[in-house]
């Protein structure tokens, strides 16, 4: 019973934050994107659309309550399968909540087609010709900040070599959600350096994500181009700083794991558990705050401007390029490899380009290689 309670404590706060982000997400996307469907901004007060959002919230709340109750029941009566259950439950939670979103997406699409909101309307794609010149210096934080996580990794490598002779022949390398060691390894330079190697991989992924922010497709509102451009600039800069901060935090977290693994510091299961929970909660809350403050593409950032709505142009209706609930972008004619997500904060890939497929395959190969190395 005690283990079940501790396990519940580790997962419920994280799922709760994910739940809050999900019910808020339709309000965090661009104003002309509603459940992944592009609509005219003046239709945001449409009562049919409001009803869809209310149903979306209701379904998420009901499923969240159901999930917590089922999770509690399973952890009490199937305590010996805690780790397996948690992995399966999180996957099922995300799958069901995506389906709830998918229902809303289809309903909005039907309403849009029935009312013909984009028929006989002028639309345009706005392009800033100075964008490529500006993004290097003004769009992103300095990439030199990544020297901080690089320095942390180097310190961990030095610690690993210095502590090698003091490491037992068999030592713990993994802990469960309760902070208890559940996997061990024989001492070797490969096993002792496993944490720094994992840090290198994660930092490279974070740096690549950082660069994607600058490489991603420019998206400027046709009706308010200057305001939209400034919002997008601030949006990219803030998220580039956030990625740097997360890269530093993750490396510090792994440093704690490394020091514990090499037995440089003594840590019990309570400290391990609380440290892991705290890190996960801080990361989730940070993402939530950033999402609320910025919105997708900077849509929630307030800009002081006299521009107003200069014209009645609508952004081009490109719904046909978005598949599977408008979560996957496929456009062979678009040279961009990375574009803004339709539902959520951040970017996704253009799977209509062979380069995107190659990048994805390389990424998967690296993950499998890392798993083989760490094993």
Residue 139: DSSP 8-state: I
Q: What pLDDT does residue 1 have?
A: 47
Q: Is the pTM of this model over 0.85?
A: no
String of DSSP letters for 14-75 = HHHHHHHHHHHHHHHS-TTEETTEE--GGGGG-HHHHHHHHHHHHHHHHHHHHHHHHHHHHH
**What is the SS3 string spanning 242-296?**
HHHHHHHHHHHHHHHHHHHHCCCCCCCHHHHHHHHHHHHHHHHHHHHHHHHHHCH
Neighbours of 309 (CB within 10 A): 11
In the chain, DSSP finds a helix count (H) and a strand count (E) of 10, 10
Q: Of 248, 262, 260, 243, which is closest to residue 151 (Cα–Cα)?
A: 248
Helix (H) or strand (E) holding 175: strand 170-175
Please report the pLDDT score of residue 136 as a whole number.
46
Please give the pLDDT value at position 121.
66
Between CA 304 and CA 287 the distance in angstroms is 25
Give residue 51's pLDDT: 94
Asked if residues 11 and 71 have their Cβ atoms less than 8 Å apart, the reply is: yes
Supply the pLDDT for residue 244.
Answer: 95
Q: What angle do CA 211, 338, 24 make, to 5 degrees?
A: 95
Which whole-number Å values give the CA distances from 149 to 114, 195, 257, 282, in the listed order? 52, 13, 15, 18
How far apart CA 309 and CA 126 sit, in angstroms, is: 14
Model pLDDT, residue 220 = 78
What's the pLDDT score for residue 375? Answer: 61
Give me the residue spans of the domains in the chain. 2-374
Q: What was the pLDDT predicted at 301?
A: 86
Euclidean distance between CA atoms 305 and 364, whole angstroms: 45
Q: Which residues in the chain show pLDDT less than 70? A: 1-10, 75-87, 120-137, 173-182, 222, 268-270, 273, 305-314, 371, 373-375
d(CA 58, CA 47): 16
- CA distances, 15 to each of 12, 21, 62, 72, 126 (Å): 5, 10, 14, 13, 39
Answer for the pair 36, 343: CB distance below 8 angstroms, yes or no: yes
Going 23 to 24 to 25 to 29, the CA torsion angle's sign is positive
């Amino acid at each position: 019973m005690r283990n079940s309670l501790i396990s519940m404590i580790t997962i419920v706060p994280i799922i709760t934050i994910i739940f809050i982000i999900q019910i808020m997400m339709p309000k965090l996307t661009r104003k002309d994107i509603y459940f992944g469907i592009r609509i005219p901004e003046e239709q945001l007060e449409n009562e049919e659309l409001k009803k869809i959002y209310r149903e979306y919230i209701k379904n998420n709340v009901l499923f969240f309550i159901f999930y917590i109750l089922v999770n509690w029941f399973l952890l009490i009566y199937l305590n010996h399968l805690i780790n397996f259950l948690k992995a399966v439950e999180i996957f099922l939670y995300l799958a069901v909540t995506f389906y709830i979103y998918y229902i809303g997406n289809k309903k909005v699409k039907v309403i849009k087609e029935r009312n013909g909101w984009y028929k006989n309307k002028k639309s345009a794609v706005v392009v800033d010709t100075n964008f490529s010149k500006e993004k290097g210096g003004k769009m992103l934080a300095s990439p030199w900040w990544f020297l901080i996580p690089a320095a942390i990794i180097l310190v961990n490598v030095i610690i690993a070599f210095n502590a090698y002779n003091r490491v037992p022949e068999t030592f713990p390398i993994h802990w469960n959600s309760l902070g208890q060691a559940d996997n061990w390894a024989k001492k070797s330079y490969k096993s002792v350096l496993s944490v720094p190697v994992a840090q290198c991989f994660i930092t490279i992924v974070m740096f690549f994500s950082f660069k994607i922010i600058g490489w991603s497709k420019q998206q400027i509102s046709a009706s308010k181009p200057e305001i939209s451009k400034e919002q997008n600039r601030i949006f990219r800069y803030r998220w580039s700083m956030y990625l740097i901060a997360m890269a530093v935090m993750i490396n510090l977290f792994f440093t704690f794991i490394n020091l514990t693994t090499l037995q440089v510091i003594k840590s019990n299961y309570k400290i391990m558990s609380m440290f892991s929970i705290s890190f996960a909660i801080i990361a989730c809350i940070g993402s939530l705050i950033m999402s609320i403050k910025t919105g997708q593409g900077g849509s929630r950032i307030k800009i002081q401007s006299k521009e107003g709505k200069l014209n009645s142009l609508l952004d081009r209706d490109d719904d046909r390029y978005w598949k599977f609930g408008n979560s996957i972008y496929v456009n062979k004619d678009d040279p961009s490899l990375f574009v803004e997500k339709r539902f959520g904060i951040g970017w996704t890939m253009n799977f209509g380009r062979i380069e995107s497929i190659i990048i994805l395959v390389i990424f998967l190969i690296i993950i499998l290689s890392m798993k083989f190395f760490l094993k």
